Structure 1
Amino acid sequence: MDETQLIAAARAGSAEAFAALVRRHQQAVRGFLRRAGGDVAEADDLAQEAFIAAWSRIGAFHGRASLRSWLCAIAWRKLQTARRGAQRTRARERHVAQLEPSTTRLDPASDARLDLEIALAGLEPEQRAALALCLGADFSHAEAAHALGLPLGTVKSHVARGRARLAQALGADHAAE
C-alpha cells in the first residue's frame, strides 16, 4: 500500500495501517528528537508519545503538508512540553542543591561526538531543531518551517546561524586540542 492509502485506512480506524505508517516514519521522528533534544532515551519516549498523539489525531491530518512533517510537528511540541517540565525540575534541583551542595563533579569525555552534543546544546532550541531537521533528517527548509511552526525565513536563518555557531564551537574546541 502506498502512503496515501495507508493514511486513508488509518483515518478510517485501521490500526494496522497506522502501524505501517509508524514503521515508515519512526526512525525519522526519533532521529529528529535525538538531534533536537540530545537525550536518546528521552527522544525515544517522546517519539512514542508523538505517535500515540498522532493516532488519536489522525483524522485531523488533511495532507496540506507531508505526513513526516506533521509527525515531526507533533514530536516538536512534545519536546517543548518536556523541556518546560525539565526546566521546572532543574529549578527545584538547584534550590535543593543550594541547601545541600554536592562535592562530586564529573568530567565530560572529550570525543568528537560529545563535542558535537555539547556544541548543539549551546544552541537555542529552535535553532537546534532547525538544524536537526534540515541537516540531520534531510528536510527542506519549507518542511522544517511547517514542522516547527516557524516562518521559512526564520528557519533559513536558524540553519545558517546554527551551522556557523557549530563550526565555530567545534573549530575552537578542536584547535585547542
Structure 2
Amino acid sequence: MAARGVLNLVQASEAALIIAAQARDQAAFGELVKRRQGWARALLRRMCAGNAAEADDLAQDAFMKAWDRMGDLETPAAFAGWFRRIAVTTFLMAKRRQKAIFEEIDDASPIAAEDSTPEAAAGAKIDLERALSRLSDAERLCVTLNHGEGMSHSEIVETTGLPLGTVKSHVLRGTEKLRRLLEAA
C-alpha cells in the first residue's frame, strides 16, 4: 500500500501536488520540492555568483517559507512565479544580513587554469560565474532575472520591489559590464 502512495505522488501532476500541499500534505510538498529543487538551486546559484553552498542554503530557506505560505498561493498555475518571488526575497534578505558575502565569493572563486587565446576564452570556456561575481549585487540580481530567467523589466519590478528605472539601469549596466568582463577574459 505504501509503495502505491509513493507511486501516485511520483505520477501526480504538479498542480495536483500543489493542491495537496496547500491542504498541508507534507509528502506532496516533498515531491514538489524534489521536482523543483534543481531549478530553484540553479536560479539562486546564479544570484550567488556560483556559490553552491550559499545557494543550497537559500533554496532550503525558500522552500521552508513556501511551505509556511502555501495557503497564500491563489492558483497552482502561478506557483513558478510565486516561488521565484519567495526565492528572490530570501536572497535579498540574506544580502542585507551578509553584505560582504560577494567579496568572499570573489576571493574564493577559481579562474580556469587552462591557458587560452582571447578568442577561445570568449567561447565556451569562459567562467560566467566568475564574471557575474564581479557585478554589484543589484546588477547581478537584475541581469540574472532578465537574461537567466527570461523575466521582463516589469516582472523584475514586481518580484524585487525595485523601481522600473532602477531595474532598467541595473540590467543595462550589468549586461555591459558582463560583456566587457567576458571579452577581457
TM-score of the superposition, structure 1-length normalised? Answer: 0.71
**Residue of structure 2 in register with 1:21 after alignment:** 32
**Distance 1:117-1:123 versus aligned 2 partners, 3 A rule:** same
Gaps of 5+ in 1: 91-104
SS of aligned partner of 1:82:
helix
TM-aligned CA deviation for residue 107 of structure 1: 9.8
Q: 2:111 aligns with which of 94, 109, 112?
A: 109
SS of aligned partner of 1:79:
helix
SS of aligned partner of 2:74:
coil
Q: 1:53 aligns with which of 32, 51, 65?
A: 65
Identity %: 41
TM-aligned CA deviation for residue 115 of structure 1: 4.7
Number of equivalenced pairs: 160
SS of aligned partner of 2:135:
coil
Which protein has greater RCO, CA pairs closer than 8 Å, 6+ apart?
1
The one-letter amino acid paired with 2:69 is R
**1:41 aligns to 2:43 (yes or no):** no
**Distance 1:48-1:159 versus aligned 2 partners, 3 A rule:** same
**Residue of structure 1 in register with 2:139 after alignment:** 127
Any residues of structure 2 matched to 1:84-103 within 5 Å, and which? Answer: 84-87=96-99
**Residue of structure 1 in register with 2:148 after alignment:** 136
**Residue of structure 1 in register with 2:176 after alignment:** 164
Gaps of 5+ in 2: 1-11, 114-120
**Backbone CA RMSD of aligned residues:** 3.3
Range with bigger deviation, 12-21 or 46-55 = 12-21
TM-aligned CA deviation for residue 40 of structure 1: 0.7
